């Protein structure tokens, strides 16, 4: 068991470095001259020479990679070409907002899908089971940004229940409970929209997992010894599907980030998504590379954590 974990841990730096190297090569091998996108439109030839020299665009690719890699090892991700500030700081400023959005989407996903999954599992094959399954599949088939836009128009604009965009009311310096309610009102719509795909996936997972468990011998034995339906559902039928939920959530982190990027743009949420998009348009390499570093780290670690949780809960792996 430990040998497996150590091997996985060794893999983390290898995978992350591979991703950062791939993106480095892609960014710098792409056609088009980055300094033009970066340094505005109205300069003259001398101005572009000056900027190219400042950002070191002229030195050959391998040397630039070595300098970049050595600095990353020391924790310095370089400064954003456009904004002159440290790429790590720029991203760090926006991480809390994205984290809040993705975490609330996950929590919402779990809170809805576990009870719903359990409820439909007990009615497996019935009318309601079919309907919920179809609804989940439809949710999973809708493009997030399209749902987001529709939601903004209907709930925010027409009904006026929720704010149209942003993370807080303009200029409000409310504190304490008012600030929290204001934040929740702004978080409601984007979190629900982002959670739609999670709910779809997790509900179906819990449903098929629990339905399968209910057919197993140990559930029949539990019933034969007179345990109540509630105990059977929660203690006997739920644990194993919850494990699959954990592993699947671990693997979906990448997709969750992608969804967050799109939802942030539609709802004006001040997360990392928009920084990435503007960095893409301006070919701001330090930000792009720092971003890929962060995302790949979190995806790899999420997978690892999911595996550790799996091993922790299933004794056969722990003592296997």
Separation between Cα atoms, residue 319 and residue 210, nearest integer Å: 25
The residue written with tokens 């039928």 in the block is: 237
b vs e for 31-52, b when ≥16 Cβ sit within 10 Å of the residue's Cβ? eeebbebbbeeeeeeeebeebb
Q: Does 53 bind other proteins (CB under 8 A)?
A: no
Give whichever of 72 and 276 is closer to other proteins, judged by the CB atom: 276
Q: Which stretch binds other proteins (CB under 8 A): 18-26, 60-68, 99-107, 108-116?
A: 18-26
Separation between Cα atoms, residue 35 and residue 45, nearest integer Å: 11
Separation between Cα atoms, residue 317 and residue 320, nearest integer Å: 5
Q: Does 121 bind other proteins (CB under 8 A)?
A: no
Give whichever of 75 and 281 is closer to other proteins, judged by the CB atom: 281
Q: What are the residues facing 79 on neighbouring strands? A: 86
The only residue of 169, 188, 307, 308 in contact with other proteins, by rule CB under 8 A: 169
Q: Does 291 bind other proteins (CB under 8 A)?
A: yes
User: Closest approach of Cβ 66 to other proteins, in Å?
Assistant: 22
If one counts every other C-beta atom within 10 angstroms of the C-beta of residue 84, the result is 7
Interaction residues for other proteins, span 143-162 (CB under 8 A): 143-146, 149-150, 152-153, 156-157, 160
How many residues contact other proteins, by CB under 8 A? 131
Q: Does 218 bind other proteins (CB under 8 A)?
A: yes
Separation between Cα atoms, residue 127 and residue 104, nearest integer Å: 31
Full DSSP string of 156-192: IIIS-SS-SSSSS-TT----HHHHHHHHHHHHHHHHH
Q: What are the residues facing 86 on neighbouring strands? A: 79
Q: Does 208 bind other proteins (CB under 8 A)?
A: yes
Separation between Cα atoms, residue 161 and residue 147, nearest integer Å: 17
User: Closest approach of Cβ 1 to other proteins, in Å?
Assistant: 14
Interaction residues for other proteins, span 241-280 (CB under 8 A): 248, 251-252, 254-255, 257-258, 261-262, 265-268, 270-271, 274-278, 280
The only residue of 102, 104, 203, 283 in contact with other proteins, by rule CB under 8 A: 283
Give whichever of 62 and 225 is closer to other proteins, judged by the CB atom: 225
Q: Does 163 bind other proteins (CB under 8 A)?
A: yes
The only residue of 174, 180, 184, 234 in contact with other proteins, by rule CB under 8 A: 174
- Binding flags for other proteins, 73-112, as an x/- string (CB under 8 A): ------xx-xxxx----x--xx--x---------------
Q: What is the CA radius of gyration of the chain?
A: 24
Give whichever of 40 and 115 is closer to other proteins, judged by the CB atom: 40
Which residues have C-beta within 8 Å of that of residue 73, sequence separation ≥ 6? none
Q: Does 240 bind other proteins (CB under 8 A)?
A: yes
The residue written with tokens 């105990």 in the block is: 231
């Amino acid at each position: 068991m430990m040998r497996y974990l150590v091997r996985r841990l060794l893999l983390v730096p290898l995978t992350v470095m591979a991703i950062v190297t791939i993106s480095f090569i892609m960014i710098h091998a792409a056609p088009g001259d980055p300094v033009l996108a970066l340094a505005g439109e109205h300069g003259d030839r001398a101005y572009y020479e000056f900027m190219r020299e400042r950002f070191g665009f002229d030195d050959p690719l391998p040397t630039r990679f070595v300098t970049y890699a050595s600095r990353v090892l020391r924790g310095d991700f370089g400064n954003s070409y456009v904004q002159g500030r440290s790429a790590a700081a720029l991203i760090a400023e926006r991480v809390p907002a994205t984290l809040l959005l993705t975490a609330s989407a996950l929590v919402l996903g779990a809170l809805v899908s576990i009870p719903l999954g359990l409820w439909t599992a007990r009615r497996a094959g019935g009318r309601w089971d079919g309907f919920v399954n179809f609804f989940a599949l439809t949710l999973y088939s809708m493009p997030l940004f399209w749902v987001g836009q529709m939601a903004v128009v209907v709930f925010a604009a027409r009904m006026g229940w929720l704010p149209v965009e942003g993370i807080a009311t303009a200029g409000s310096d409310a504190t304490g409970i008012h600030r929290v309610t204001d934040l929740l009102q702004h978080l409601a719509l984007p979190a629900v929209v982002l959670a739609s795909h999670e709910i779809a996936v997790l509900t179906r997972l819990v449903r098929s997992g629990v339905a399968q468990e209910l057919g197993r011998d140990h559930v029949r034995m539990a019933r034969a010894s007179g345990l109540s339906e509630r105990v059977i559902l929660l203690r006997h039928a739920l644990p194993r599907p919850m494990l699959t939920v954990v592993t699947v959530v671990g693997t979906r982190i990448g997709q969750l980030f992608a969804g967050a990027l799109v939802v942030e743009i539609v709802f004006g949420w001040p997360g990392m998504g928009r920084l990435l998009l503007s960095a893409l348009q301006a070919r701001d390499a330090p930000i792009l590379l720092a971003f890929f570093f962060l995302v790949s780290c979190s995806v790899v670690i999420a997978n690892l954590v999911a595996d550790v949780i799996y091993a922790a809960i299933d004794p056969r792996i722990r003592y296997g």
